Every structure is written in structure tokens, then in C-alpha cells.
């Protein structure tokens, strides 16, 4: 993200950082960090006082919560004003409006916005069959992550949901990038990454399908079948369920040596997992 005059740049995909015209304005106080993160996630939209109070104090806010929240917002505004002395617009970046607060959308840029733009571009490229461009754009999107979202921010009930949603989105983009790499014939190069992903996400059937496909195309049929049995065992032991029929169809395709597995992002049977 390039700096532009009068613009606040906020990074949320990892450690929280905020810059106004190149000057760091990241608050050090925990609750101010929560407020800034929540406002940045909703830039251009009003975050109500009730939502902010819920995030900061849960279901047990102090009697002075409204006044204390006003103080935190004032301190954030002061920080912005100090970063741009003599610029009255700086304080106005954080507005009071309609029973809440809002960061001006036009003046706020986040790495989440950039992640979204690159992800959409990658998906569009994949839909046209340009897997090289898809892998590149999705890879650039994933490179914006410097750790878990809001890694050093105290997560109340509102931000916890936001962070969980962002992580699910990241995993989906990662899956699409791997699919593009498979379509480019990079199955052998993916084995290490997919082995680690399935170990970290042992009940994720999509990652298992990608690993099975990469192993099959690399000539490791026995290992591909073992990967299926691992996820089946985990699902049965932890949840008492069998893998989805789509994953079972992939196993049968591997056993029969179905030639459809040799083409496309995951092959006809594996791709059915996303349908």
C-alpha cells in the first residue's frame, strides 16, 4: 500500500500498524487498539456505540462506559492531529455520526482491502483458465498476511468473529491458489505445503483432496490413499461421521486410476468437492 497525502494506512493482517502520511499513529493502549481495528474493518460505515461497548467490555460494561469510550476516541483523534500538525482534516478522519463513530472510507486504506482486490482478480483469472495469472495474484494476496489477523490486538466478542471470518477467507484463497498451481502441473512442488496444511487442519476435506491429487499425480498412490484414511479416522474419532461422498469418490477414482485425475486444478472428481 503506497502512502498518499491525507490518508491513513492500516495493516490488520498480522500485527496492527497505522500510519498517517507516513507517520506512525498506532495506539499503544489495548482498548484504543480495539477501537481502531474495529473502525478500520468497517471503514465508511458507522460502528455503533453499543457495538464498541460490547467489544471493549462484553456483557459487563462499567457505568462510565459511554464517557470512557468518548475519551478513547478523543485520544485517537488527538493522535491523528499530532501526526499532521496544522491540518484540521486529520481530526475529522474519525467522525461522530448517527450514534456511533466512523473512519472516512476515502481516506482509509487497509491491507484487507488490497487482499480482497487481489483475491477477486485471482479468482477471475482462474475462471477464464488463466491459471498462471491466478496463481500469481492469489499468491500476492496471501503474501499480505504477516501472521494471524489482529495478531497483537485483544479480541473481544466482536473482533473475535471478524478475525475468524478473515482466517476462513484466507484458507479459501489459499485453496484456490493451490488449485491454480495444480493446474499448472506444480503438483510435486506442492507436496510439502499440503502435507503441512493437512497436519494443521486434519478435518479439512478440501485440503485432503488437494494433497491426494498432488500425491497421485506425483506417482505416490499409496500415500494418497493413506491421506484419505487419515482424514477418515479423524472424522470418525472426533465427530463420529464419515467423509463426504465427494471425498469417497475421489478415493475410488484413485483406486481405479481414473484418467480424469490427471487434468485440471484437482481433476473432475476432486473438483466436485467445491460444488
CATH number of 186-275: 1.25.40.10
Distances (CA, A) of 20 to 23, 29, 108: 5, 18, 9
Q: What is the pLDDT of residue 265?
A: 64
Q: What is the pLDDT of residue 264?
A: 66
Task: Summarize pLDDT for 92-111 with one digit per residue, the tens.
Answer: 899 998 899 999 988 899 99
Q: What is the pLDDT of residue 274?
A: 43
Q: What is the pLDDT of residue 152?
A: 96
- The pTM assigned to this predicted structure is 0.90
Q: What is the pLDDT of residue 155?
A: 98
pLDDT lower than 70: segments of the chain? 1-5, 264-275
- The C-alpha cell at 182 is 495444480
Of the candidates 16, 5, 261, 270, the one whose C-alpha atom is nearest the C-alpha of residue 162 is 16
Interacting residues of 117 by C-beta distance below 8 A, sequence separation 6+: none
CATH topology classification for 8-110? Arc Repressor Mutant, subunit A (1.10.10)
- The C-alpha cell at 174 is 489459499
The string of DSSP codes covering 98-140 is TTEEEE-GGGEEEHHHHHHHHHHHHHHHHHTT-HHHHHHHHHH
Residue ranges per domain, the chain? 8-110, 186-275
Q: What is the pLDDT of residue 273?
A: 45
d(CA 136, CA 126): 11
d(CA 120, CA 182): 19
Q: In this structure, how many other beta carbons lie within 10 angstroms of the beta carbon of residue 18?
A: 24
Amino acid at each position: 500500500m503506497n502512502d498518499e497525502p491525507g490518508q491513513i494506512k492500516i495493516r490488520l493482517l498480522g500485527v496492527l500498524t497505522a500510519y498517517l502520511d507516513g507517520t506512525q499513529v498506532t495506539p499503544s493502549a489495548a482498548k484504543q487498539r480495539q477501537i481502531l481495528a474495529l473502525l478500520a474493518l468497517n471503514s465508511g460505515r458507522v460502528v455503533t456505540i453499543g457495538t464498541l461497548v460490547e467489544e471493549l467490555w462484553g456483557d459487563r460494561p462499567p457505568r462510565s462506559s459511554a464517557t470512557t469510550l468518548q475519551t478513547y476516541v478523543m485520544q485517537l483523534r488527538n493522535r491523528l492531529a499530532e501526526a499532521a500538525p496544522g491540518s484540521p482534516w486529520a481530526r475529522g478522519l474519525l467522525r461522530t455520526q448517527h450514534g456511533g463513530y466512523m473512519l472516512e472510507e476515502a481516506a482509509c486504506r487497509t491491507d484487507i482491502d488490497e487482499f480482497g482486490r487481489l483475491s477477486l482478480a485471482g479468482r477471475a483469472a482462474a475462471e477464464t483458465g488463466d491459471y498462471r495469472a491466478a496463481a500469481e495474484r492469489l499468491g500476492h494476496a496471501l503474501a499480505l498476511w504477516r501472521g494471524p489477523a489482529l495478531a497483537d490486538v485483544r479480541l473481544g466478542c466482536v473482533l473475535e468473529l471478524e478475525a475468524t471470518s478473515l482466517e476462513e477467507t484466507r484458507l479459501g484463497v489459499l485453496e484456490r491458489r493451490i488449485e491454480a498451481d495444480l493446474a499448472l502441473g506444480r503438483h510435486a512442488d506442492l507436496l510439502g505445503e499440503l502435507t503441512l496444511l493437512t497436519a494443521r487442519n486434519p478435518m479439512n476435506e478440501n485440503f485432503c483432496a488437494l494433497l491426494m491429487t498432488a500425491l497421485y499425480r506425483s506417482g505416490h498412490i499409496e500415500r494418497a490413499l493413506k491421506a484419505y484414511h487419515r482424514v477418515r479416522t479423524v472424522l470418525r474419532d472426533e465427530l463420529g461421521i464419515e467423509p463426504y461422498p465427494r471425498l469417497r469418490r475421489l478415493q475410488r477414482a484413485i483406486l481405479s486410476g481414473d484418467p480424469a485425475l490427471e487434468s485440471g486444478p484437482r481433476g473432475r472428481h476432486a473438483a466436485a468437492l467445491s460444488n
